[in-house]
Structure 1
Amino acid sequence: MKNTFKISLLLILIGTLTSCDFTKKDKIATAIYECPMHCEGEKTYDKPGTCAVCKMELTTMAEKEKLNGEISDLSIYNLPSVWTTQNNEEIELKELHGDVVVMVMIYTSCQSACPRLAADMRNIEKQIPADKKDNVTLVLVSIDPETDTPERLTAFAKENKMESDKWVLLRGSEANTREFAAVLAVNYKKISPLDFSHSNIISVFDQGGELAHQQEGLGVNNKETIAKLLELVQ
């Protein structure tokens, strides 16, 4: 599924690069590793492993750059689309930069899969330690922007106990929604005036907006999702 994400994102970005100017830093050719706690000062390593002092996993300098503002070619934050939140505020995806992002696509009038996806998202939130919650944003993107107005999204958030500022509900244009669904490998189709068939995928993005993990299905064991999320959270 990650390969599908990369191909989809690259194809979309190729189509937008002619009209958008993105400033990028030079990329590191070879991975350089360091202790996240800097137990040995600025000492670096050319291979992965653990710190000889604190035994923590070494992190790459590239990961550090993501935290400090680096956006790679595979980041969703390169997408120029503008979205409206449940608070009727316009944002771009890049405004989520710096947090680990857990994201799912739903529609509020759904009576079957979406309530279960919402429950899965709440279950993930409950398993994030209190001291890590500030570094995680949970995002729901509507596949039915015509119906899901900011007011509707606000009501949905209240009904589903998603009222903290770490929950972001988004609606966009039909074109931007279709484009973003393609990036996430989420398929959806309107089958009646009020119903859609759609993929049930929860995605986890790192601080730089790169896809790190996807969980597919309803009510599935989210052990791997939580493990990846906690691995990413700084």
Structure 2
Amino acid sequence: MSRNAKLALAAWIVVLIGFAGWIGVQFSQDSGGGPTIGGPFTLTDHNGKRVTEADFKGKPTLIYFGFTYCPDVCPTSLLLMQTAVEQLGKDADKNVNMLLITVDPERDTPAVLKDYVGNFGPTIVGLTGSPDDIAAAAKAFRVYYRKVEGKDGAPYLMDHSSIFYLLDKRGRFVKHFTHQSRAEDIAAAIKPLM
């Protein structure tokens, strides 16, 4: 093959790669871009009722994965969630879903969750399920968690990511926050979704 033919072939390959990249960018923008976060789940609420993600559509939703025996980050995070929603005004908690999905289904029964979430207000819903149900929900939201055995006879804890997920009324991921986020910033992100 002559030098000119090799250059022409190389130029066509560069053009094709560039075109393929452009198509990929267009597809990513059309589909919302970024990784998919969230998805279908079937869990049991703190009243013992089986629920799916569809039961929470129609309102913006804040989801936090944690557990009731959590010594520090989980209660702080749930208080932050409640505070952010309260900043949206009177009755805002009736217009925003707030969910705690346990990462410790072994201990977090519906009754335990009901008692626990009641400490943070009447509208946070605790969700549990089988270990497989929890694993599927955690995978959909890209949540890390694992059991950590206690030392010297202490009860086990759960190591887990500490992220809030904000979903729109259609159940689509909008934004995430950490337990270090400000309530004002969370409220500002929720407000246009109401």
TM score, norm. by length of structure 2: 0.74
More helix by percentage:
2
Question: 1:115: Cα distance to partner?
Answer: 1.4
1:141 paired with 2:101, answer yes
Distance across 1 between alignment mates of 2:125 and 2:91: 20
Higher relative contact order, chain-length normalized (CA < 8 Å, sep 6+): 2
Counterpart in 2 of 1:127?
87
Distance across 1 between alignment mates of 2:120 and 2:183: 20
1:161 paired with 2:129, answer no
TM score, norm. by length of structure 1: 0.62
Query: What pairs with 1:162-181 in structure 2 (closer than 5 Å)?
Result: 162-163=121-122, 166-181=123-138
In 2, are the aligned partners of 1:109 and 1:194 still within 8 Å (CA)? no
Query: What pairs with 1:101-112 in structure 2 (closer than 5 Å)?
Result: 101-112=61-72
User: Given the alignment, which residue of 166, 170, 181 partners 1:220?
Assistant: 181
In 2, are the aligned partners of 1:149 and 1:171 still within 8 Å (CA)? yes
Cα deviation code 1:186-230 (max 9, x no counterpart): 2111111520111110111000000011002x2422333211100
Cα deviation code 1:64-113 (max 9, x no counterpart): xxxxxxxxxxxx3xx2x321111111111211110111110110011121
- TM-aligned CA distance change 1:179 to 1:162, over 3 Å: same
Question: 1:124: Cα distance to partner?
Answer: 1.4
In 2, are the aligned partners of 1:187 and 1:198 still within 8 Å (CA)? yes
Sequence identity percentage: 24
Amino acid at match of 2:104: D
Q: SS in structure 1 opposite 2:120? A: coil
Q: Where do 5+ consecutive residues of structure 2 fail to align?
A: 1-32, 150-154
Counterpart in 1 of 2:34?
3
Cα deviation code 1:97-156 (max 9, x no counterpart): 101111101100111211111221121122122254332111110001111011101110
Q: SS in structure 2 opposite 1:124? A: helix
Counterpart in 2 of 1:99?
59
Amino acid at match of 1:222: A
1:84 paired with 2:44, answer yes
- TM-aligned CA distance change 1:109 to 1:132, over 3 Å: closer
Cα deviation code 1:141-183 (max 9, x no counterpart): 000111101110111022x2322xx321100221121122122
User: Given the alignment, which residue of 194, 209, 225 partners 2:171?
Assistant: 209
RMSD: 1.8
User: Given the alignment, which residue of 112, 134, 150 partners 2:110?
Assistant: 150
- TM-aligned CA distance change 1:155 to 1:132, over 3 Å: closer
Q: How many residues align?
A: 157
In 2, are the aligned partners of 1:84 and 1:90 still within 8 Å (CA)? yes
